[in-house]
């Protein structure tokens, strides 16, 4: 046995450690340790599933983040896809392609962050895979969740006249990344939005329970791109008001000095806020304690395409298109 191997837990020992940490759930007949995990779904529920890859130097840089936060984020961005349908996460699966430079304590740190975020969502880590990677650190995440039959909020339900809402604030994560790319330390608020986004599970489930939303997704590629998916799937157009975009105090401060930062709120990516449409145009003024604030930013129209209108009535043209991790602003 080489020293390298000595420094590494056997796969089975690691699985045992994970099993102890991972917790359990009433839906779970059999968890980690067999060929498959076995689950039961309540008969009135549908199954939601989503999967994602996260690759070092494509989706994250290890010098910018603790492995604990990386584990949290890997879980969170996938949980956000369950939130985006209005579902409840049940089970998470984590595959780790581990470079030789990642020792056991680092793997455990990564897993601890992943499990923390998983439990926070009321879900359980029930399976996965670890193997060596001759290249970068690679993570694959799968999440299964449940939702009452027929209630999932899809992208194709937006109707002409619907209001468009977004949760939380936009652009913070992208602004945090902009600072990191420039070699500057972002403020704690912005850094947290970039490193440890919060999936908006409660809001998604509340919207399903109230039956208020007609279409929904999470903003991962940027508002313009993701709203574009709703418009295309629903065969409608939209108008949004630039000055209505919800911005954090930290973002607004920097925007005051550089109006071009609006592009980050429009197309920055990794917001992980919920973007949804609803017939009710005064939803945010209801006497309801929302799990996270929501803001009406525009409306769905029959005319195809997306128009971004400024306070003076003129159109705003975003110079940033799509979202590419680390492509800079």
Contact residues: a copy of itself, CB under 8 A: 29-30, 33-41, 43, 46-53, 55-59, 81-82, 84-85, 87, 91, 93, 95-97, 126-129, 131-136, 138, 140, 142, 144-145, 147, 149, 152, 154-155, 217-218, 233
- 213-218: strand order across its sheet: 213-218, 274-278, 163-167, 294-301, 237-241, 305-309
Name the residue nearer to a copy of itself (CB basis): 50 or 173: 50
Report in angstroms how near the CB of residue 303 gets to a copy of itself at its nearest: 22
CB of 317 to a copy of itself, least distance (A): 19
Quick one: which of 246, 235, 262, 276 has its CA closest to 318?
Answer: 262
Residue 148: C-alpha distances to residues 50, 90, 185, 264, 310 (Å): 17, 13, 44, 35, 40
Locate 251 and state its tokens: 């973002």
Q: Which is nearer to a copy of itself, 35 or 289 (CB)?
A: 35
CA-CA distance, 295 to 113, in Å (whole number)?
31
What does 119-166 look like in DSSP terms, one character per residue?
A: HHTT-EEEEEEEEE-SSS-EEEEEEEEEEETT----SS---TT-EEEE
Q: CB nearer to a copy of itself: give 47 or 279.
A: 47
Our CB check for a copy of itself shows the closer of 85 and 300 to be: 85
Q: Which is nearer to a copy of itself, 244 or 325 (CB)?
A: 325
Minimum distance between the CB of residue 63 and a copy of itself, rounded to whole angstroms?
A: 15
Shortest separation between residue 86's beta carbon and a copy of itself, angstroms: 10
Please answer whether residues 233 and 154 qualify as being in contact, where contact means their C-beta atoms are separated by less than 8 angstroms: yes
Q: How far is the CB of 35 from a copy of itself (least distance, A)?
A: 4
């Amino acid at each position: 046995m080489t020293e390298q191997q000595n420094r590494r837990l056997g796969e089975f020992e690691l699985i045992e450690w994970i099993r102890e940490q991972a917790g359990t759930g009433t839906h779970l007949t059999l968890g980690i340790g067999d060929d498959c995990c076995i689950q039961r779904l309540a008969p009135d529920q549908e199954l939601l599933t989503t999967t994602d890859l996260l690759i070092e130097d494509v989706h994250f840089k290890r010098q910018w983040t603790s492995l604990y936060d990386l584990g949290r984020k890997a879980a969170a961005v996938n949980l956000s896809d369950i939130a985006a349908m209005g579902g409840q996460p049940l089970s998470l699966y984590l595959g780790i392609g581990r470079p030789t430079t990642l020792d056991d304590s680092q793997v455990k740190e990564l897993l601890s962050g992943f499990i923390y975020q998983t439990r926070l969502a009321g879900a359980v880590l029930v399976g996965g895979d670890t193997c060596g990677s001759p290249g970068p650190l690679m993570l694959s995440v799968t999440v299964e969740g449940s939702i009452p039959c027929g209630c999932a909020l899809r992208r194709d339900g937006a109707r002409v006249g619907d209001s468009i809402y977004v949760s939380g604030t936009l652009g913070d994560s992208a602004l945090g990344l902009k600072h990191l790319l420039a070699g500057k330390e972002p403020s704690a608020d912005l850094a947290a939005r970039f490193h440890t986004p919060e999936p908006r599970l409660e809001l998604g489930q509340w919207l399903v329970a109230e039956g208020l939303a007609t279409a929904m997704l999470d903003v991962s590629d940027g508002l313009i791109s993701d709203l574009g998916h709703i418009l295309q799937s629903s065969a409608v157009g939209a108008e949004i008001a630039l000055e209505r975009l919800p911005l954090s105090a930290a973002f607004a401060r920097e925007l005051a000095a550089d109006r071009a930062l609006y592009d980050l709120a429009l197309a920055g990516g990794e917001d992980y806020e919920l973007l949804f449409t609803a017939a009710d145009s005064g939803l945010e003024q209801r006497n309801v304690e929302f799990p996270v604030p929501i803001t009406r930013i525009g409306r769905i129209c029959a005319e195809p395409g997306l128009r971004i209108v400024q306070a003076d009535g003129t159109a705003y043209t975003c110079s940033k298109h799509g979202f590419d991790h680390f492509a800079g602003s």
